[in-house]
Amino acid sequence: MPKHTHNGKRKNGHGMKDRYEQDENMTLKELKVGEKAAVKAVGGSGALRQHFLDMGIIPGTEVTVVKFAPMGDPMEICLHGYELTLRLDDAAQIDIEPATESTSPVGIERKTVNEHPGLGEGGRFHEKKTEKPLPEGTQLTFALVGNQNSGKTTLFNQLTGSKQHVGNFPGVTVDRKDGEIIGQKGTRITDLPGIYSMSPYSSEELVSRDFVLKEKPCGIINIVDATNIERNLYLTMQLLEMEIPMVVALNMMDEVDGNGGAIDVNTMEAMLGVPVVPISAAKNQGIHELIQHATHVAKYQEKPQIQDFCDENDHGGAVHRSIHAVLRLIEDHALQAGIPVRFAAGKVLEGDANILEKLALDDNEKETLEHIALQMEKERGLDKSAALADMRFSFIMKVCDACVTKPHENKERIRSRRLDRFFTGKYTAIPLFILVMGLVFYLTFNVIGAFLQDLLAEGIGALTETVRQVLIAGGVNQVLQSLILDGIFEGVGSVLSFLPIIVTMFFFLSLMEDSGYIARVAFVMDKLLRRIGLSGRSIVPLLIGFGCTVPAVMSTRTLPSERDRKMTILLTPFMSCTAKLPIYAFFVDAFFPHHKALIMIGLYLTGILTGIIVAYIYKKFLFKGEAVPFVMELPNYRMPGVRTTLQLLWEKTKDFIQRAFSVILIATMIVWFLQSFDFRFNVVESSESSILAAIAGIFAPLFAPLGMGDWRIVTSLISGFMAKESVVSVLEVLFGPEGGISAVMTNLTAASLLVFSLLYTPCVAAVASVRRELGRKWAIYVVLWQCLVAWVAAFLVRLVLLLMGW
Ligand code: GDP
Ligand code: MG
């Protein structure tokens, strides 16, 4: 057992019992690896405390410490059969007491069935009495709701096949995915961000909650990870209160079966009052049946039949009585506000100000409400939020006791633990992370990506040659010939050849994310990131930033604090995105052909280093305060689905090709036009007297101190604002393919130009996504700030190299 002496009070050599005796208020932080305890009280306040409760940290819950991160903080605990991370500072707010001997019936043999009885069998869950089918032709809309990593995206892809498109959320603008269910014309299913409860904790969770509450889909497909059923059902219970027809999809049944576990689906249906369909999204099992049930409940608007989960015999029934009292009190208000009554009652009892306001209770009613809550807290001996969370978890335990046969062992869990011994091990975690990233870059640039790129470049080269022959043979007008060959083929072609590298990079990033590795990286790096004022969660957007800034900025929505989100967004441009690769490759080939790898690595590291420096500045001056708590689930390692991965790659490819043939094509054509004509629209002899030269000349003095005063370089940098790749396509157009550039530039200039392109303003698409997230002011800030940083850095590099005698 590693020793973690975080607290001076701890005495070595004492057993746990002794420690409890010495220290009346022992906290979770003081537990050692492998030790078990029961939660006594949960401190803290606000959203974080609610989040703790929603994640299952409630008085009475048993927790076991799994490990500490390599740097000693955060820690990983196991509760309700799943793994959660939290920082020691937050763990110190959770009081513990000795655990009572566990009586959980693990591995008891029971006669169980996984099979589902089929649609409407015995009319049990599809009762026809209250049947009110939606009119023919109504679009059946579904929301796909579930915890993170429960398999939503995998299921979504199975349900929709390739018939999906990515759209934008109106208002909050979150990338949401809509699609039509295969074989069900006129349906629309929406893949929502993963949530743990209907109390939103991050801005992304708010989106999911609002979708369910405001857009009122015809049906909910609640995806539940069957290997982690206790935690997953917590959300299910809250969804059942929404009064929206619902089907529970029990996912990952292949793993449950494989481990010898079982789930009595019929009993579970009876207890939850909605159809429960066992499926395996990854193996495409049970999907057809799920579709049948979902469309049926939606069409006939069959609402969940049970909402009353509070047991009147539970702890004297205090919670039960209070909920029902509140139900009566607010019923008419909830109806008027269009909020499901049962949901509203739970929320106002918890003290949700947002819902309380919407209900518009008068003072009398508010007072009554307070009395009810107070009385409940007194009788139950828990505060209101904890009492309600406890009520939900007790119901879940009853469901699990009745329906779930836990396997003796969970192979995936054991495998994950084994892998984690290395990936989050004290001495191995960070070297392995560096190794993994190194491998990703090596494979991308040197092996797979590079190989495919050469192939593609040759193909494009051959095509260009053929077209040239045809144009010459056909005696096509010189200017047009120049447009096609020097403009389009030279420009777009050079960019297009980077497609393989970019797609390969995204492939590895998505592999890391889907397998569950990035969550470990966040766990391991949390302490380091805290030094620069961020939390471990920010590592995800930052790593995605190596692919493309746009999705990176978007993925910051999973961060639960505005401060962290802002800071992470402002730092992502420092992670060199794949679109800058063509620029690096172009200059390295022309000027430093013998130090290719060295310079590439150097550039990436320069970006990271500058990011760290800027982060320190931000932390000191712009974003004071602490990073948010780091409460995160560590999912089991899983093999990412082939289909999901292929679909992602296809999307990226499509995206890139679209860009190459829109933004980049247009930019290249404009540049070609401006450099071919003068202000009187005569074709110029040499482009120095062209319109372009004149315009770029205005900006040239700004770049002169960097040695980059040449108008052609200035032009290419400006066009890089449209899309980074077009820096290269423009240079190709302006200098011609064969080494024209080495005549006007020295190695020294090339070096500072590389640094400048690494750091200067992100492209329009990235700036637009910053604007969507943070508003116009910050978007403008990003553009100006990055240019300033880039200028200074490039200047410094030039200075240093000059002093070194270059
Ligand atoms: P999301 O975060 O809810 O969108 O979850 P994903 O669809 O990304 O899935 C998370 C991980 O679980 C991926 O690695 C999937 O390949 C895996 N997965 C999804 N469904 C199943 C399943 O039915 N069985 C197994 N064994 N793995 C699955
Ligand atoms: Mg997903």
Residue having the nearest C-alpha atom to atom 28 of ligand 1: 282
Pick from 97, 94, 93, 92: nearest CA to 4: 92
The average pLDDT across 145-150 equals 89
DSSP at 627:
P
Q: Is the pLDDT of residue 101 over 80?
A: no
What percentage of the chain carries pLDDT values higher than 90?
36
Task: Say which DSSP state 661 is in.
Answer: I
The backbone torsions φ and ψ at residue 85, rounded to the nearest 5 degrees and listed phi first, read -110, 150
Q: What per-residue confidence (pLDDT) applies to 431?
A: 94
First-residue to last-residue Cα distance in the chain: 55
Going by their DSSP bridges, the two strands 246-251 and 219-225 should be labelled as parallel
Pocket of ligand 1 contains residue 245 by CB under 6 Å: no
DSSP-based three-state secondary structure for 66? strand
Q: With 0-12 CB in 10 A as exposed, 13-18 as middle and 19+ as buried, what is 457?
A: middle
| Amino acid in the structure at residue 155 | L
Q: Is the pTM of this model over 0.85?
A: no
Q: What are 296-309's pLDDT values in tens digits?
A: 999 888 888 877 88
The alpha carbon of 638 and the centre of ligand 1 are apart by a number of angstroms equal to 7
Crossing angle for the helix pair 711-719 and 665-676, nearest 10 degrees?
150
CB 88 within 8 A of CB 234: no
Query: 399-425: per-residue pLDDT in tens?
Result: 999 999 888 778 888 899 999 999 999
Q: Is the pLDDT of residue 557 over 80?
A: no
Mean pLDDT lowest among 268-272, 612-616, 645-649? 645-649
Q: Across-strand partners of 225?
A: 251
Choose between 200 and 543: higher pLDDT. Answer: 543
- Ligand 1, closest atom to CA 638? 14
Residue 280 near ligand 1, beta carbon < 6 Å = yes
Q: How many Å lie between the centroid of ligand 1 and the Cα of residue 676?
A: 54
Span 501-518, average pLDDT: 84
Residue among 382, 462, 746 nearest 591 (CA): 746
pLDDT of residue 113: 53
- Work out the angle at residue 306's Cα, subtended by the Cα atoms of residues 301 and 307, and round it to the nearest 5 degrees: 105
> Helix H segments across 680-760?
691-703, 711-719, 725-735, 740-744, 747-759
**Of the segments 393-397, 437-441, 724-728, 732-736, which one has the largest average pLDDT value?**
393-397
Task: Using the atom order of ligand 1, give the atom closest to the CA of residue 150.
Answer: 3
Find out whether 73 and 527 touch, Cβ atoms under 8 Å: yes
CA–centroid distance, 224 to ligand 2, in Å, is: 13
Please tell me the distance from the alpha carbon of residue 638 to that of residue 252, in angstroms, as a whole number.
Answer: 11
Cα 144 to Cα 154, 284, 651, distances in angstroms: 11, 17, 21
Confidence class of residue 679 from pLDDT cuts 50, 70 and 90?
A: confident
150 Cα to the center of ligand 1, angstroms: 6
Phi, psi of 404 (to 5 degrees): -105, 125
The finding on whether 514 has its CB within 6 A of some atom of ligand 1 is yes
Residue 169 binned pLDDT confidence (cut-offs 50, 70, 90): very low
Ligand 1 atom closest to the Cα of residue 149 is 2
Nearest CA to ligand 1 atom 9: 151
- Ligand that lies nearest to the alpha carbon of residue 635, given by its number in the listed order: 1
Rounded average pLDDT over 231-258: 93
Q: DSSP 3-state assignment of 632? A: strand
Reduce the DSSP state of residue 285 to 3 states and report it: strand
DSSP code, position 96: E
Cα separation values, 638 from 192, 242, 415, 725, Å: 21, 32, 10, 35
Q: Which of 160, 638, 648 to mutate to test the pocket of ligand 1 (most atoms within 8 A of CB)?
A: 638
Give yes or no for a contact between 744 and 682, defined as CB atoms under 8 angstroms apart: no
Average pLDDT on 439-447 reads 83
The tokens of 721 are what? 């604002």
Backbone torsion region of residue 761, taken as left when φ is above 0, otherwise alpha when ψ lies between -120 and 50, otherwise beta:
beta
Q: In which order are the strands placed within the sheet that holds 632-633?
A: 94-98, 36-42, 62-68, 75-79, 82-86, 632-633
Mutate to test the pocket of ligand 1, among 149, 164, 280 (most ligand atoms within 8 A of CB): 149
Is residue 110 over pLDDT 60? no
Using the 8-state DSSP alphabet, how is residue 559 labeled? -
Q: Where are the beta strands (DSSP E) in 371-476?
A: 404-405
Rounded to the nearest whole angstrom, what is the distance from the C-alpha of residue 290 to the centroid of ligand 1? 17
Least confident of 132-146, 427-441, 456-470, 673-687: 673-687
pLDDT of residue 548: 82
Instruction: Tell me if residue 115 falls in helix, strand or coil.
Output: coil
DSSP-derived secondary structure letter, 256:
H
From the CA of 176, how far away is ligand 1's center (Å)? 18
Ligand 1, atom 24, residue with closest C-alpha: 252
Q: How are strands ordered across the β-sheet holding 276-278?
A: 164-168, 175-179, 187-191, 140-146, 219-225, 246-251, 276-278
Cα of 225 vs centre of ligand 1, distance in Å, is: 9
CB of 152 closer than 6 angstroms to any ligand 1 atom: yes
Q: Which residues, in sequence order, are bridge partners of residue 178?
A: 165, 190
Q: In 3D, which of 145, 150, 319, 332 has the Cα closest to residue 221?
A: 145
Distance CA 574, CA 736 (A): 30
CB 614, CB 782: distance < 8 Å = no
CA distance readout (Å), 90 to 32, 242, 367, 542, 756: 16, 32, 33, 25, 42
CA of 514 from ligand 2 middle (Å) equals 9
Please report which ligand is nearest the Cα atom of 195.
1
